[in-house]
């Protein structure tokens, strides 16, 4: 491919920084970043699983998400709540020969998976599916030489919904509807969480100097939690790591990278970069991120439940559920471990079916609470 063609493809894929933005950088003017109104997904050549034989994020779903993201970005831009200037129009390809990167905004579907469970009540079969939704809105720089794309800053959004159906499967349209519902809910809280007046300048992005980076590198499950979630344990880890990261970025305004969990990201021993492949309308691209200077470990340190009913003969059960979660390292002003409990009253025959629902709610709330703690040290750690 000719160099000019590669440059043109990069413009269409990521957007570019115009000359007037580059000239304004020394004065602290915000960078101009393009939004191409397209959502990408992590590329996989593996055959689909039985639980998700058809992809949730088909072209219609991706376009719906792209439109929602575009509307939210334009609203934030109009309110002056973006640390950069948003460009959504095509203005031709402009760059300078000295600049090695072109930059823009991309949206990535980081998770579109399901975890299914079937059960029987009164002789009737039912299926319940956790529908996991992960979206990353990222500022990236794209190399003009090899087309690889490097993450500079991430706004991670994570959540889940529950789709139910009679019988032994949930239809693909029900999955898609729940996925889009969760995504739209997450996008309502989209924020770059910067201090008032803070902007990202062109030179700052070029130098990749948006401050120290933070990333969840591991999440541990207690034996009881691992037993409860079984084969879905890996997806629960990804969800909790993402929920924590989203809350942590929003609370601290720090530079965070997506959790390197789940097998989608591989580390290159030669470069030290994490990488994965993403796919979209312009084909496949290599997406990379550096090793974060500040790794974070989370731990589901315990879960418990107890029947506190006064009579074993009652048709209703009174249950208390409790969970504990830890963060390490602990910064000044933070608590190392938080716990939360929920009381539930329901029909005795429905106890086991509801248990994983309840602990999903408890643990995602705990992950949010851990990430929402305000430290007084801003990087100073205990111990």
Looking at residue 265, what is its pLDDT? 87
pLDDT at 27 > cutoff 50:
no
CB atoms within 10 A of CB 186: 18
Q: Model-level pTM greater than 0.85?
A: no
> Per-residue pLDDT tens for 157-181?
999 999 988 888 888 999 999 999 9
- Annotate 348-358 with b (16+ C-beta within 10 A) or e (fewer): eeeeeebbbeb
- Annotate 195-224 with b (16+ C-beta within 10 A) or e (fewer): eeeeebbbebbbeeebeebbbbbebebbee
Instruction: Read off φ and ψ for residue 164, nearest 5 degrees.
Output: -125, 155
Half-sphere exposure of 330 (CA within 13 A, CB side): 13
How far apart CA 17 and CA 31 sit, in angstroms, is 7
> Per-residue pLDDT tens for 32-54?
888 888 898 888 765 555 444 57
How far apart CA 216 and CA 240 sit, in angstroms, is 10
pLDDT at 128 > cutoff 70:
yes
How far apart CA 40 and CA 59 sit, in angstroms, is 10
* Structural contact between residues 367 and 298, judged by C-beta atoms closer than 8 angstroms: yes
**What's the mean per-residue pLDDT of the chain?**
79
CA distances, 249 to each of 33, 214, 219, 265, 368 (Å): 20, 9, 18, 20, 11
> Per-residue pLDDT tens for 72-90?
999 999 998 888 888 875 4
* Structural contact between residues 83 and 15, judged by C-beta atoms closer than 8 angstroms: no
* Beta strands 213-221; 294-307: pairing state: parallel
């Amino acid at each position: 491919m000719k160099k000019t063609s590669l440059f043109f493809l990069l413009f269409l894929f990521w957007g570019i920084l115009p000359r007037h933005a580059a000239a304004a950088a020394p004065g602290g003017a915000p960078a101009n970043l393009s939004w191409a109104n397209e959502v990408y997904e992590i590329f996989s050549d593996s055959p689909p699983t039985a639980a998700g034989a058809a992809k949730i994020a088909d072209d219609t779903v991706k376009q719906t998400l792209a439109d929602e993201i575009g509307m939210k970005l334009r609203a934030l831009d109009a309110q002056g709540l973006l640390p950069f200037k948003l460009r959504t129009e095509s203005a031709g390809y402009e760059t300078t020969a000295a600049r090695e990167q072109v930059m823009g905004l991309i949206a990535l579907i980081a998770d579109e998976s399901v975890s299914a469970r079937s059960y029987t009540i009164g002789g009737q079969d039912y299926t319940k599916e956790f529908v996991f939704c992960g979206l990353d809105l990222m500022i990236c720089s794209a190399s003009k030489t090899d087309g690889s794309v490097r993450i500079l800053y991430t706004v991670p959004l994570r959540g889940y919904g529950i789709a139910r159906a009679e019988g032994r499967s949930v239809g693909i349209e029900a999955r898609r509807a729940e996925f889009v519902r969760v995504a739209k809910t997450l996008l309502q809280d989209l924020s770059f969480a910067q201090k008032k007046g803070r902007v990202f300048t062109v030179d700052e992005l070029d130098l990749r100097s948006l401050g120290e980076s933070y990333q969840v590198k591991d999440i541990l499950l207690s034996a009881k939690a691992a037993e409860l979630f079984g084969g879905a344990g890996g997806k629960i880890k990804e969800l909790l790591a993402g929920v924590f990261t989203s809350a942590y970025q929003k609370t601290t305004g720090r530079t965070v990278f997506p959790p390197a969990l789940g097998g989608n990201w591989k580390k290159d021993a030669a470069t030290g970069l994490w990488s994965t492949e993403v796919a979209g309308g312009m084909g496949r691209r290599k997406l990379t991120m550096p090793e974060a200077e500040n790794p974070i470990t989370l731990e589901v340190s315990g879960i418990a439940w107890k029947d506190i009913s006064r009579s074993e003969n009652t048709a209703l059960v009174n249950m208390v559920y409790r969970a504990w979660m830890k963060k390490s390292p602990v910064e000044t002003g933070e608590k190392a471990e938080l716990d939360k409990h929920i009381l539930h009253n329901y029909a005795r025959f429905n106890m086991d079916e509801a248990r994983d629902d309840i602990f999903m709610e408890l643990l995602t709330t705990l992950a949010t609470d851990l990430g929402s703690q305000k430290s007084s040290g801003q990087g100073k750690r205990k111990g």
